[in-house]
Structure formats: structure tokens, C-alpha cells
Amino acid sequence: MLRPALTAPALATLTLVALSGCQTAPPARPAPPTDPDVVGESRTGSGYLKGYLDRKQLPDSLALLPRPPAEGSAEAAADLAVHRATRALRDTPRWALAASDDNLKFPKAAEVFSCALDLPISPDATPHLNMLLRRTLLDAGLSTYGAKDHYKRQRPFAALNEGTCAPASEAALRNDGSYPSGHSALGWAWALVLTGIAPDRADALLQRGHAFGQSRVVCGVHWQSDVDNGRVMGAAAVARLQSDPTFTAQAALARQEIADARAKGARSPLNCAAEQAALGR
């Protein structure tokens, strides 16, 4: 017995049904890790975790930045003037904040932006946000070393034989290039990353990121031009991170953590009024 031929619409329908039976949704991408042991340290025992970027992917500070101010130049004189003016801040609340900002070890370093974000930041409360800060620290900080190692600029405290707000760090810093500032790079990178996931707090976050860099001038461990150019490298690192899928996935999860924490009424546990007073606000 002959069967009637399938019409075009019927054939199209059967084809779609067959294809739908063969096709499956692509496997979900696993969430970026929040366990430090899974991420791994950049150097065993350092406490600093690997960044998102391979070192070959980092922006090149030697290619991007101008030379540091030459001795005897107007720019060098301006650096010295700012340094001398900030010596008046010694033993003030701003000096104490600069000393606190010197500490890049977690969990303490996670507190830097807690007031600006007005939320607790910790492995327990916000694991993806905490990991976002831990890993971008290395990306931004390492981006400064092309110029640091090339120019080997002497730091203010070493050049002028002075003390700093962080005496325990002085021995290590004495032989570490001053230009550009790694702290300033990562502080500005953190501010930009956080602004991207919490834009309603942008002004407070950027102010704190700027102040974090200025803490290095207050502390006496960097010249102003070191800090200014460190921010350039922080921005360059964040621009490069935008195309890294692990970073963007973790940033999206951190954004959701912030929304969830706010929905629960979470607030920063720190003395934010004291921080604002130290910053003169």
C-alpha cells in the first residue's frame, strides 16, 4: 500500500523534532573556585594567590609609562615638595590608616573597601568577592614590575634616611623599585573592579581607591609620581581582565553576593566614621 508523501510543513516539523532529540544543552561552566588551595599561591608560602592572568598577558609598565622624573627636574622637585608636606601627618589618624593600608595579606586586606562598599568582605560572607580581590591583587601588582626593575628608583625614606609608617616593611622595600607603586596599582584596580559590580557605590569606592594610593605617599615609601603612574597600571590591568572568562564569571557571582547581602540588611562591621575622619571627610 502506498503512503501519501509528507508535505513540506510536516517534514520540517519532523526534522525539528528529530534535531531536538539529538541536541543537548552545552554543559554549564563550573563556577570559579573560592578555595585558596584550589587557586594556589603565586609562590609557595607567600600567602599571595595566583592572578587570573598569565604573566605574559599582563600590561607592560615599561612600555606604557614615561620615565620617572629625572634628578633636578621640576617633576622631581614637585615629588619632594609633596613628600615634605605629608610629613606633618606623622602620628595622626591618617598616618595610622596608611600603616593599615600597607598590609596586603588576607583576610585583613579585604577590609580596605568594606566601608566604601558598606558590606562585610570575607571568605565566609562573600567568598567570590573575597577571591576577586585576592586574585586581582597579583594581576595589578605584577603589572608594575617591568618599570620597577628597569628604573630601580630609590624610595623617599631610603633617599632621605627617614622612617616610615611601616617599619617592618622597610628592609624589603629598600631594594624594591619605587616607580611605579604596586600598592597604588592594585588599590586603583580594586576600586575599578568594585565600581563595575557595585556602581551605586562608585564615588565612595573610587575615593577609597585613590586614598589607598595616597597612603603610600603619607607612609613615606613612595613619591607622588610613583603613585600617579601606579594608577595607570591598575587601570591597564583591569582593562585586560575584562576579556578573561574566569574573572568575568567571578565578578558576576560577586555582584550577586553583594545583592544578596544587601537584601539581608548586611552592613560593614568596621568603624567607618573613624575611617572617614582619618581621610578628612
Instruction: Give the catalytic positions in this structure.
Output: 183, 216, 222, 226
User: Phi, psi at residue 263, to the nearest 5°?
Assistant: -60, -30
CA distance 169 to 173: 6
List of residues 6+ apart from 137 with CB closer than 8 A: 48, 49, 51, 104, 109, 186, 190
User: Which residue from 146, 142, 148 is spatially nearest to 186, judged by alpha carbons?
Assistant: 142
CA distance 89 to 93: 8
